[in-house]
């Protein structure tokens, strides 16, 4: 029988708590489903690695990492990098859309002023 280390237990329960917290945030509409899926999948993977010593040991050997806790840390770091890249892409897209909306609003404001006979609209 394989026993779980204290670190494995802490990581596994921590990831389960994170998954429940993410689901609660979705329930209260503070986090969209689009982002919650990534968080829930990542926390379930970390929980499985934490609770399953043979799987964690196998993954550690396959990756060539020295310790099991380093494997869990590597998965967490990889997830953080993927999330940062994903959010950077979303932020870039939102910046581009904001720029396009600003241009469109300026054109509409100019068109409105020309229809009113050159009188300013009273807005900056």
Q: So what's the pLDDT on residue 99?
A: 97
Distance CA 3, CA 73 (A): 20
| Confidence grade of residue 118 (pLDDT, cut at 50, 70, 90) | low
CA atoms within 13 A on the CB side of 87: 9
**pLDDT (tens digit per residue) in 42-67:** 888 888 877 888 888 898 999 998 88
Kindly report the number of other CB atoms within 10 A of residue 53's CB atom.
Answer: 16
Distance CA 46, CA 57 (A): 13
Contact partners, residue 62, CB within 8 Å, separation at least 6: none
pTM greater than 0.85 (yes/no):
no
């Amino acid at each position: 029988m394989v026993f779980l280390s204290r670190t494995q237990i802490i990581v596994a329960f921590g990831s389960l708590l994170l998954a429940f917290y993410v689901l609660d945030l979705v329930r209260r509409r503070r986090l969209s489903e689009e982002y919650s899926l990534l968080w829930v999948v990542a926390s379930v993977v970390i929980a499985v690695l934490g609770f399953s010593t043979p799987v964690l040991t196998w993954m550690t050997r396959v990756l060539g990492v020295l310790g099991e806790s380093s494997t869990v840390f590597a998965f967490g770091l990889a997830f953080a990098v993927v999330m940062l890249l994903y959010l950077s892409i979303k932020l870039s897209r939102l910046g581009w859309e904001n720029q396009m909306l600003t241009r469109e609003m300026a054109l509409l404001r100019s068109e409105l002023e020309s229809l009113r006979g050159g009188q300013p609209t009273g807005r900056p």
